[in-house]
Amino acid sequence: MHHDEFIGQVRARGALPDRAAAERAARATLETLGERVPVGLAEHMAAQLPPSLGQYLLRAAVGHGASRDERRRGERFDLTTFAGRIAWRSGTDEEVALREAGAVLDVLDASLSPELMRKLGHVLPHDIRELLPEARTQDAPWSTA
C-alpha cells in the first residue's frame, strides 16, 4: 500500500475532516506503537509499510533514551498510557485518540502480512489488543504481555 492510500483509508475509516488530521493520527499511533513493541517487530512492520510511515515506528522503537532491554522487548504500558501518548502527539483528547488509533490499526491490518498482525497481537496487552480489527482478535490465542 502506498502512503497516499494508507492516509486516505485512515481518513475514511476514522471519519477525519482532512488529510492533515489523518497524517497526524497515523504518525501519533505509529510512534506510540513503536514505543510499545519490540524493536525487531517494529523493523519487520516498517519494512512492509511505505518508508514515510515506517520511519515513525522505527524512530520510536530505537530512540527516546530507552534502555537496551526496553528496545529489545518494547516499553511496557497499558491502554491508558497508549491513549494519552497518542492524544498528546496528535493534539486531541484520549477518546478521539483511541477512535483514530482504531482507524490506523484497521489500515495497518490491511497493509501488513497476517503473520505480522498475529505477532503484534501477541506482544500487546489485552486492553490495547482490543483496538485491533475483530478478525485478528479472534484468530489466535493471545499471550498476556
CATH of the domain at 115: 1.10.490.110
pLDDT band at 67 (very low <50, low <70, confident <90, very high): low
Q: What is the pLDDT of residue 62?
A: 66
- Flag whether 144 is in a domain: no
Closest of 22, 42, 23, 40 to residue 32, by C-alpha: 42
Most confident of 13-22, 33-42, 134-143: 13-22
- Flag whether 74 is in a domain: yes
- Flag whether 114 is in a domain: yes
Q: Contact 37/120 with Cβ under 8 angstroms?
A: yes
Residue 48 DSSP class: T
Q: Contact 25/16 with Cβ under 8 angstroms?
A: yes
Q: What is the mean pLDDT of the chain?
A: 88
Say how many CA atoms lie within 13 Å of 9 toward its Cβ. Answer: 15
Q: Contact 139/118 with Cβ under 8 angstroms?
A: yes
- Flag whether 120 is in a domain: yes
The pLDDT of 116-135, averaged and rounded, is 90
Q: How many CB atoms lie within 10 A of CB 15?
A: 10
Q: What is the pLDDT of residue 145?
A: 45
Q: What is the pLDDT of residue 81?
A: 96
Q: What is the pLDDT of residue 142?
A: 46
Closest of 48, 53, 31 to residue 109, by C-alpha: 48
The pLDDT of 49-59, averaged and rounded, is 94
How many structural domains is the chain composed of?
Answer: 1
- Flag whether 129 is in a domain: yes
Q: pTM for the complete prediction?
A: 0.87
Structural domain that includes position 49: 3-137
pLDDT exceeds cutoff 60 at 45 = yes
- Flag whether 38 is in a domain: yes
- Flag whether 143 is in a domain: no
The pLDDT of 32-36, averaged and rounded, is 93
Share of residues in the chain with pLDDT > 70 (%): 83
Residue type, 12: A
- Flag whether 69 is in a domain: yes
The span from the CA of 24 to the CA of 33, in Å, is 14
